[in-house]
Each structure stands twice: as C-alpha cells, then as structure tokens.
Amino acid sequence: MTIARLVLWRLLQAVPVLLLVAALAFALEMVAGDPVTASLGPDATAAQRAAAVAQLGLDDPLPLRYLRFVGAALRGDLGVSTRLARPVGGLIAERLPATVELAGVAFVLSLAIGIGGGAYAAVRRRARSTRLLLLASLFGVSLPTFLTGTLLILIFAATLRVLPSFGRGEVVALGGWTTGLLTGSGWAALVLPALTLAAFQSALLLRLVRDGMIVALDSEFVRFARARGLSHGVVLRHALANALTPVVAAAAVQLGTLVAFSVVTETVFQWPGLGQLLVESVATADEPVIAAYLMLVALLFVAINLAADLLCLAIDPRLRVAPAGGA
C-alpha cells in the first residue's frame, strides 16, 4: 500500500540524516572535546591519562569509535555530563517535560491565532480590524523573541504585577513526568513564555493561512459551490480545508522549531527546560550534553516531518496517487 511504502521510504531517508547528525555530535564530543581531562581533571598524571585512554578506547581507529558511539546512543547511553557528572539521558529526561509543555501550549496557541486570524483576515479582507490584525502580525514576525519576551515581562510582570516573570511555578510529578498544567501557578508561569514563543509562529501562520484562504476563496470551486447554493458557512469550511493543506508542512517545521529553538525564550524567562540546559552546557563546554541535544533535535524533526507527511496524505487525496517518495 502506498502509505506504508511512504512511511518506510521516509524512515529509510531519515537513517543517513540521523547518522550524519550523530557523526557531527561524535566529532563534537570525542574530537573537539577532551574526554580524558573531562573525566580525570587537569591534574592527572601521564600514567593515569594513558590508562584512561586505554579504558575509554580512545586509541581505537575513529570509525570504530564512531560505531561504538552510535551503538551506545541507540541503547540510550548518551554519555556522562562533564559538568554535573550525571548520565546525560537522565538530565534530558528531567528537562524535557518543561520544554514540551511550553512548546505544546505555544503551538496550540499559534495554531488557534494563526488559523482563526488568517481565515478572518481573508474573509473580511478590507475590514479595519483586519488591517489591525495584519499590523500586529507584522510586529509578530519582525520583533526578535528576546525583545517580545522582555516587553511582556516589563508590562505584565514588572508594571502590572499580574504574572510571574520566571520559573515554572508549582509542578506535579506524574511518573517520570513533571507537569505544570495541573496547578494555577504552573499555568500563570506558562502564560508569558508561551505568548513569547507563539508570537512569531502565530504571526507567520496567520499570514500563510490568510494568503492560502484568499486564493481558495477566489478559486473556481468556491464560485461553483456558491453558484449552486451551498451556504456561506459550508463554503468557508471547504475553502479553509483547501487553504490549510499547504500550511500543514509549514506548521510542522514550526513545531520542531518551537522545541528546538525555545532557547531564547527559556533564557529570558529562566524556564527550566532543554533550552536552558543547552545554554548552560555550551557555557561550560559540556560536550556530551550538547551532542545529545543535537541528536534529539534531529530525531524530533524527522518524526514531526513524518507526521506532517501523513497528515497531508490524510487531507489531500491527490497526494495518495503519487508514487512513494515521488513528487
């Protein structure tokens, strides 16, 4: 079946991508970094260093070491943080919930604003409210994230004092997952960072949806649907479905970006997520963490893009006849 073939094909395509990213991570961790000094400290004797080199297998040829690195990563062994002396996997698992919740809420927010606002701007093309909306979206796409975040803090945290400016609030542990979505202070803490992270994304989506919707509304099939008396609401719904097909791919990249590059937002709001972990790790040259982050982000992008492809297939029957991997 075509869909099964497409999934298989995309997974096969993902393998070299992931291997390449792993090679970069490996280069960063094993070659650019100095695992011996990292594990023994700068004061080790030559004999200690030689023993460590032998024990870590650092004498082996590079390809062998690379394979060993990939094998360990596949088993979930991502090395040990040089800064915190703890397994990297555990560190990431600890920080992941904060970032996923922040990115998830920001994503839902940007979908709601982007699709709702974009459709409105297309339907009420000349309304004053539409011009206002487009002006706001222009700010959204042009203001840098750190500025948006700082402005929001200035207004809502420093001046009005209605929302916290940093941290995650109270969190509840559910198994290995900590969530801020079950407490009032958790939600309050989430508002400003989620708005900040969503600002750019929703403005971009709004413009994409608006353009697609304008094309759809002017298309022949909408004209024909109106000519045979389908109601305004029904026609709008079909036009929106057609306008959204090309947006799905863009939105998927957005979601990946939200998770991967929440770095700035997390720094501004001191949000205890992956972005902040990355910043701390870069500052202290904690290569194993940086390498693991790199691979995680690559995996995330592959998974999200696959999901987007499947979603497009579900929406648009025209794509289902194309040969797998074809145009």
Partner 1 sequence: MTLLAVEDLVIEVPGGRAVDGASFTIEPGEVLGVIGESGAGKSLTGAAVIGLLPAGARMSAGRILLDGERIDDLHEEDWEDLRGKRISAMFQDPATALDPLRCIGAQLNETLNAHHPMIEKVRRERVGDWLDAVGLPRERMRAYPHELSGGMRQRLALALALCPAPELLVADEPTTALDAPLRVQVAALMRRLAGRQRTAVLLISHDLHTVAAAADRVAVMYAGRIVESGPAEAVLRAPAHPYTAALLAGLPGVGPRRARLPAIPGAMPLPGTRPDGCAFHPRCARVAPRCRREAPTLAPGTAACFYPLTAQAAHG
DSSP 8-state secondary structure symbol assigned to residue 7: H
Tell me which residue of 255, 242, 265 sits closest to 315, measured CA to CA. Answer: 242
The least CB distance from residue 231 to partner 1, in Å, is 6
62 vs 234 by CB, closer to partner 1: 234
Q: Where are the alpha helices (DSSP H) in the chain?
A: 2-26, 35-40, 46-56, 62-74, 88-123, 128-142, 145-152, 184-217, 220-227, 232-260, 263-268, 274-283, 287-315
The least CB distance from residue 236 to partner 1, in Å, is 12
280 vs 316 by CB, closer to partner 1: 316
The least CB distance from residue 235 to partner 1, in Å, is 10
42 vs 229 by CB, closer to partner 1: 229
Binding site for partner 1 (CB under 8 A): 219-221, 223-232, 234, 238, 241-242, 245, 315-318, 321
128 vs 318 by CB, closer to partner 1: 318
94 vs 316 by CB, closer to partner 1: 316
The least CB distance from residue 131 to partner 1, in Å, is 18
172 vs 241 by CB, closer to partner 1: 241
Q: Are 17 and 298 in contact (CB under 8 A)?
A: yes
Q: What's the chain's length in residues?
A: 327
DSSP 8-state secondary structure symbol assigned to residue 273: S
Q: Are 201 and 106 in contact (CB under 8 A)?
A: yes
The least CB distance from residue 320 to partner 1, in Å, is 9
* Residue 174, beta-bridge partner list: 177
* Residue 80, beta-bridge partner list: 87
30 vs 251 by CB, closer to partner 1: 251
The least CB distance from residue 29 to partner 1, in Å, is 47
SS (H, E, C) 28-77: HHHHHCCHHHHHHCCCCCHHHHHHHHHHHCCCCCHHHHHHHHHHHHHCCC
The least CB distance from residue 220 to partner 1, in Å, is 4
C-alpha 316/C-alpha 210 separation (Å) is 19
